[in-house]
Amino acid sequence: MILWTNALIEGVLLGGLYALFAAGLSLIFGIMRLVNLAHGDLIILAAFVVLSVAAWLHIDPFAATLAALPIMFLAGFALQYCLLNRALGRGLLPPLLVTFGLSIIIENGLLELYSADSRRLHGGSIETSSIALGHAVSVGVVPLLTLASAIVVILVLNFIFYRTALGRAFRATADDLEISQLMGIDHPRIFSVATGLAFVVVTIAALYLGMRANFDPTIGPERLLYAFEAVIVGGLGSFWGTLAGGIIIGVAQTVGAQINPEWQILAGHVAFLTILVFRPRGLFPRAVD
């Protein structure tokens, strides 16, 4: 019984990490219908930015992440404004190809700059500290923070989406681009702000990825798959859905592993496919499109 409780708790915590990976993807896809194949590499890029800021200012990764957030927002804004906006609106293929190319450029650029060494963000003693729940179950502080951050990120994103003028513009462009333009929405700018926001989320994801395991320039694409699955399981456009999707994949993996470690990754994929069979549009799709 303890074993299964533990697997369940670890799965939920792992789901927090997957939800963080997925939130940025969900944001970009929800608003622009842009499948960002470079998302995994962007997480790694953000991790290197945090690493550099931490090393440069001699601060711990949490403070470094705070400092990196505005940099990454501007980077995202510029990327969308100068590059991705030009690829949008010409069918499905150009944005896919552009982000695919971007992924290769980021990977090799990082390799050139930072070499192939694997790095980590060092958070000191917090990395291995844990809180005991009962006598047999203890949860790590960092995984707990990861889940908490995922929830906060999603609360904030929901607030922006449903309580602000900016969010209204986001939803309008997502619902109907032409009509929103008639209403005077400057959609290239709205898109750029959205990508900037996505980069902020990516940076937070990078902090926890970098503290949980090593990263090196080439590890990004591997991180993309679970993020995609979480977005699809949760339903397009729903941030709470993305969190739920992440947690479902995470729990499926840990419970699968408890039965047999060979089934860990498989169990996540099976859960994903099962949900697609019964709910092809995911659990909580935002709009009918």
Site residues (CB under 8 A) for other proteins?
3, 6-7, 10-11, 14, 17-18, 108, 111, 115-120, 122, 124, 127-130, 138-143, 212-216, 218-219, 222, 226, 250, 253-254, 257-258, 260-262, 264-265
Q: Quote the CA–CA distance of 18 and 194 in Å, as a whole number.
A: 20
Spatial neighbors of 172 by CB under 8 A, at least 6 apart, are 179, 180, 183, 185
Query: Measured from the CB atom, is 142 or 244 closer to other proteins?
Result: 142
Alpha helices by DSSP H, listed for the chain, are: 2-32, 39-57, 61-79, 85-87, 93-114, 141-163, 165-175, 177-182, 187-212, 224-234, 239-259, 264-278
CB of 218 to other proteins, least distance (A): 4
Spacing of C-alpha 118 from chain mean position = 21
- Least distance to other proteins, CB of residue 179, Å: 42
Residue 136 CB, shortest distance to other proteins, in Å, is 9
Min dist. Cβ of residue 143 to other proteins (A) = 8
Shortest Cβ 262–other proteins spacing (Å): 5
SS3 137: strand
Q: Which is nearer to other proteins, 129 or 181 (CB)?
A: 129
Assign 215 to helix, strand or coil: strand
Provide the 10 A C-beta neighbour count for residue 138: 13
Of the two residues 164 and 214, which places its CB atom closer to other proteins in the complex? 214
> Residue 178 in contact with residue 44, Cβ under 8 Å?
no
Nearest distance, CB of residue 198 and other proteins, angstroms? 22
Q: Which residues pair with 131 in a beta bridge?
A: 139
- Closer residue to other proteins, CB minimum distance, 181 or 260: 260
Judged by beta carbon, residue 7 or residue 233, the one nearer other proteins is 7
Minimal distance in Å, beta carbon 138 to other proteins?
Answer: 6
| Minimum CB distance to other proteins smaller for 6 or for 158 | 6
Characterize the bridge pairing of strands 137-140 and 130-133: antiparallel
Query: To which H or E segment does residue 139 belong?
Result: strand 137-140
Nearer to other proteins (CB atom), residue 96 or residue 137? 137
Q: Which residue has the tokens 């659990």?
A: 283
